[in-house]
Amino acid sequence: MDRLYSVMLSNASDVNYTAMTAKAIEGYMNTTEGMLALVETNPNARWECNERLKVIYPSEKFNYNRFLNHGFAQCDVSKYDYFGIFNNDLIFGDNWLDNAFNYEWNSFSPVSEGWFKHDNVAQGATYGWETGKYFCGWAVVMDRDAFNVVHPFDEQFKFWCQDDDMAITLKTSGMKHALISDSKVKHLLSKSHKLLENEQEMTSGMVNKLNAKWQLG
């Protein structure tokens, strides 16, 4: 048992998004023994729960970090060693998690084949914090030390920069993050942007909040 508890966010707004999310759930279930909390934006969507899948319907306006907090609120942290955050537009490769345990890390992201920033990555583990390259918000696994540093997640980050804020928080706390070449989870890339109600606020507006919080720029 890998003692993994993960949260995945979903907006099953039509049959295509539902099918994409179902495939991501299936991939997670087939490649781990972990628990998964699906936080579903669409209150009319209906997912079938089981002993490893719980579904949460916040019935409120989408906020990435708040929805993560809803998902992890269902978790007894003392029972788990690892904590995952995953998009619903992922294809999980075989042994992606098992292979990661060959390396030392507090958090890691898998390589996404076809993502230009992961072309020609070094074999094994590469340590770094650059978001979108080493720290990939669409797929992050943390040990308990790292999770306790970032949780609860800062709810001022509703979409963009959630990963930047998490990476800076972990880095400044002395954690070690790895991009692991033999852990592979393919990201289908930005499938949810068209679902945003206020894209400008959720994207460039979040950059302003990040800069203000960390005194960047």
Band of residue 78 on the pLDDT scale cut at 50, 70, 90: very high
State pLDDT tens for residues 82-131.
999 999 999 999 999 999 999 999 999 999 999 999 999 999 999 999 99
Q: What pLDDT score does 60 carry?
A: 92
Structural fold of domain 4-214 = Spore Coat Polysaccharide Biosynthesis Protein SpsA; Chain A (3.90.550)
Q: Which residues contact 125 (CB under 8 A, 6 or more apart)?
A: 103, 104, 105, 108, 178, 179, 180, 181
- Per-domain boundaries in the chain: 4-214
DSSP per-residue codes, 38-68: EEES-TT-----BTTEEEE---S---HHHHH
- pLDDT grade, residue 13 (50/70/90)? confident
pTM: 0.91
Per-residue tokens: 119: 């072309």
